[in-house]
Structure 1
Amino acid sequence: MKLHADHPEAHSITAYGDGWITVNGQRHAQSLVIGATSGVAPWACQRFEDLEAAHFDQLLAHAPEPPELVLLGSGRRLRFVHPRLLQGLLGRRIGVETMDTAAACRTFNILAGEGRRVLAALLVEP
């Protein structure tokens, strides 16, 4: 039996490790934003402690249409941001799920493969 994604045009995280993520075979060593169909861009936040509301407000510029869900990869371990930082997304009725970056990578692939409007903001710690 041959397995393939339901939506082959969706971007895919093909590998990840400490300090890097590979998207469609291209390795990235900095934090990034990836949309299911909108592409990959650097994310201007390198450390969890530096996150501000503006970092989340800027995420919408990376998608042609608002996502249903934003996955926040919080780095090597699960950490939750203060809810006030997410008000810009939540006020637009965009769901936000927080998990460690490895789990966010796996979840992104599943949701993007299903054709969901998902956006992942992934902190890549050196």
Structure 2
Amino acid sequence: MQFNEMPFEDAVPVDGYGPNMFRIGGKAYEGAMLVCGEKILPWGGYADVASLVELRELIDIIVIGTGPEMTHLPKAFREALEAAEIGLEPMATPTAARTYNVLASEGRRVAVALLPV
């Protein structure tokens, strides 16, 4: 799927996604990804909560793309992010990518962690 262009100043947009891939900032990446500002990093999924906690000084909220459908976050994962005082918004990956793009284009302090569809 391709997204419409939006203005971004200090963030990289999620341009599109497909089976086990994302197009972020015009480049293709495979597997789960983490995007914060201009940083694009591979993400180890729910077992990699440390990568998200490290962002706590840079963000107010993290949008979690849970895959093709919205699912509940694992309890330990959710509790670790809540303890770090990071707001969480889990949603299906397609919705998470679009939501992140809107918030980032508004200059919000947001990151997105995406599991593939």
Smaller-chain TM-score bracket: 0.7 to 0.9
- Asked if 1:12 corresponds to 2:13, the answer is yes
The match for 1:70 among 62, 67, 71 is: 62
Alignment of 1:38-53 (within 5 A): 38-45=38-45, 51-52=46-47
* Percent identity (aligned): 27
Structure 2 distance, partners of 1:117, 1:25, is 21
Q: Which has the larger radius of gyration?
A: 1
Partner of 2:23: 22
Structure 2 distance, partners of 1:68, 1:19, is 27
The one-letter code matched in structure 2 to 1:39 is K
**Do the aligned partners of residues 64 and 96 (structure 1) sit closer, same or farther apart at CA in structure 2, a change above 3 Å counting?**
closer
- Asked if 1:110 corresponds to 2:108, the answer is no
Dislocated runs of 4+, deviation >6 Å: none
Structure 1 distance, partners of 2:15, 2:72, is 26
Structure 1 distance, partners of 2:88, 2:78, is 8
The match for 2:51 among 51, 58, 76 is: 58
What is the CA distance between 1:59 and its match in structure 2?
Answer: 1.3
The one-letter code matched in structure 1 to 2:99 is T
The one-letter code matched in structure 1 to 2:53 is L
After superposition, the C-alpha distances for 1:66-101 in whole angstroms (9 at most, x for unaligned) are 311011100111111133322222123211010011
Would you say the 8 A contact 1:60–1:66 is kept in 2? no
SS at match of 2:84: coil
Aligned residues: 113
Would you say the 8 A contact 2:14–2:101 is kept in 1? yes
- Taking structure 1 as the reference length, the TM-score comes to 0.79
The one-letter code matched in structure 2 to 1:11 is V
Q: What is the RMSD of the two structures over their aligned residues, measured on CA atoms?
A: 2.0
Partner of 2:93: 101
Q: Which runs of 5+ in 2 are unaligned?
A: none
Structure 2 distance, partners of 1:22, 1:85, is 26
Structure 1 distance, partners of 2:23, 2:72, is 24
